[in-house]
């Protein structure tokens, strides 16, 4: 029979999906894109548009005694501004408010500017690696190479490569492994592995294919966390994160079940588990990493 852990994780997630919606989840606290002057992190689509670093407008740079390097091109951030419109023929006292999308040009003060000093405080967390989680990572035969860059977590199908913020960027070690397992699950969809439909046809952030793949990746990460015994500290965040994407699939309310099936296949691939019942037998065959205590 299939891994009972997967079934338990799926049931727990389904039971918790009504608990609320979490925004885009970035559990690391080091790195990412921030406003240089205020040190506030960029949110929403701006967090996706900008590489890790501190950003300032041309005016902020000039007023602070810095300058933009010759030939550097500005990067764009967007934000909403509320406009109040009063219709002279309206009988209502309150003006009508309209959301107006505006954009602003910013520059990375480390790479595009001169004369400005970083305002970031050095911050690093000390963690011991979790042995069972490391065994899963090291046992992923044929997996893609992984690089470590603060504020950057993604799987890129075109280069078949993973990037994750390093372990010391997270307040909790468990969150690091959850993020890494998420990107590893994405990577199983590459055509040279499970050839999962949609993994190499990502459109814009949040489109239909992207939404489905995010559900698979997060459920796969939850299953791998459960396999190495760190699910209790990650499962609630996973459930609310999954809910935020599942709401985008209102016309396919049962797709979460299909996502769980595909996530199970991805987790099995990473763990090197094959099932003989697929060819008529019954007992699972495990790779060496599984034999060393990963259940």
Q: Residue 289: pLDDT band by 50, 70, 90 thresholds?
A: very low
Determine, yes or no, domain membership for 200.
Answer: yes
Instruction: Provide the pLDDT for residue 69.
Output: 95
Q: pLDDT digit string (tens) for 199-217? A: 776 544 445 666 778 888 8
Query: Which residues face 169 on adjacent strands?
Result: none
Strands 96-108, 53-56: parallel, antiparallel or unpaired by DSSP? antiparallel
Q: Are residues 236 and 284 in the same domain?
A: yes
Q: Are residues 20 and 42 in the same domain?
A: no
> Are 77 and 106 within 8 A, CB to CB?
yes
Q: pLDDT digit string (tens) for 3-18? A: 566 666 566 555 544 4
Task: Show which of 53, 80, 114 is a domain's final residue.
Answer: 114
Task: Show which of 114, 145, 165 is a domain's final residue.
Answer: 114
Q: What's the rounded mean pLDDT across residues 181-188?
A: 95
Q: Are residues 148 and 133 in the same domain?
A: yes
Among residues of the chain, what percentage have pLDDT more than 90? Answer: 36
Instruction: Provide the pLDDT for residue 29.
Output: 65
Angstrom distance (rounded) from CA 282 to CA 291:
18
Q: pLDDT digit string (tens) for 39-90? A: 888 876 677 678 778 999 999 999 999 999 999 999 888 777 777 776 666 6
Q: What's the rounded mean pLDDT across residues 113-118?
A: 93
Task: Show which of 114, 134, 168 is a domain's final residue.
Answer: 114
Q: Residue 250: pLDDT band by 50, 70, 90 thresholds?
A: low
Q: Are residues 59 and 141 in the same domain?
A: no
Determine, yes or no, domain membership for 119.
Answer: no
Angstrom distance (rounded) from CA 82 to CA 133:
47
Q: Are residues 56 and 160 in the same domain?
A: no
Q: pLDDT digit string (tens) for 12-48? A: 555 544 443 333 456 776 667 889 998 888 876 677 6
Q: Residue 270: pLDDT band by 50, 70, 90 thresholds?
A: very high
Q: How many domains does the chain have?
A: 2
pTM of the model: 0.63
Look up the domain containing 20 and give its range: 4-28+124-291
> Are 27 and 178 within 8 A, CB to CB?
yes
Residue 203 is classified by DSSP as -
Instruction: Provide the pLDDT for residue 34.
Output: 86
Whether residue 167 is predicted with pLDDT greater than 80 in this model: the reply is yes
Q: What's the rounded mean pLDDT across residues 262-271?
A: 95
């Amino acid at each position: 029979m299939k891994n009972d852990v997967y079934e338990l994780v799926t049931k727990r997630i389904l039971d918790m999906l009504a608990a609320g919606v979490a925004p885009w989840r970035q559990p690391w606290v080091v790195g990412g894109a921030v406003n240089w002057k205020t040190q506030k992190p960029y949110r929403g689509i701006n967090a996706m548009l900008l590489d890790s670093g501190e950003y300032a407008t041309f005016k902020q740079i000039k007023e602070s005694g810095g300058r933009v390097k010759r030939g550097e091109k500005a990067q764009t951030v967007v934000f909403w501004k509320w406009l109040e419109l009063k219709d002279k023929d309206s009988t209502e006292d309150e003006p009508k408010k309209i959301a107006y999308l505006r954009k602003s040009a910013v520059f990375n003060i480390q790479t595009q500017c001169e004369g400005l000093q970083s305002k970031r405080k050095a911050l690093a967390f000390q963690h011991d690696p979790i042995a069972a989680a490391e065994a899963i990572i090291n046992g992923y035969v044929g997996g893609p190479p992984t690089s470590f860059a603060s504020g950057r977590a993604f799987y890129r199908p075109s280069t078949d490569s993973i990037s994750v913020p390093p372990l010391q960027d997270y307040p909790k070690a468990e969150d690091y492994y959850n993020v890494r397992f998420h990107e590893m699950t994405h990577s199983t969809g590459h055509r040279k592995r499970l050839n999962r439909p949609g993994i190499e046809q990502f459109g814009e952030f949040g489109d239909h294919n992207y939404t489905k793949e995010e559900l698979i990746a997060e459920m796969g990460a939850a299953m791998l966390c459960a396999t190495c015994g760190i699910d209790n500290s990650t499962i609630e965040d996973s459930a609310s994160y999954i809910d935020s994407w599942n709401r985008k699939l209102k016309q396919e309310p049962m797709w979460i079940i299909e996502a769980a099936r595909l996530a199970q296949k991805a987790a099995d691939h990473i763990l090197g588990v094959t099932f003989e019942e697929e060819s008529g037998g019954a007992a699972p065959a495990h790779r060496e990493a599984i034999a060393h205590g990963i259940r």
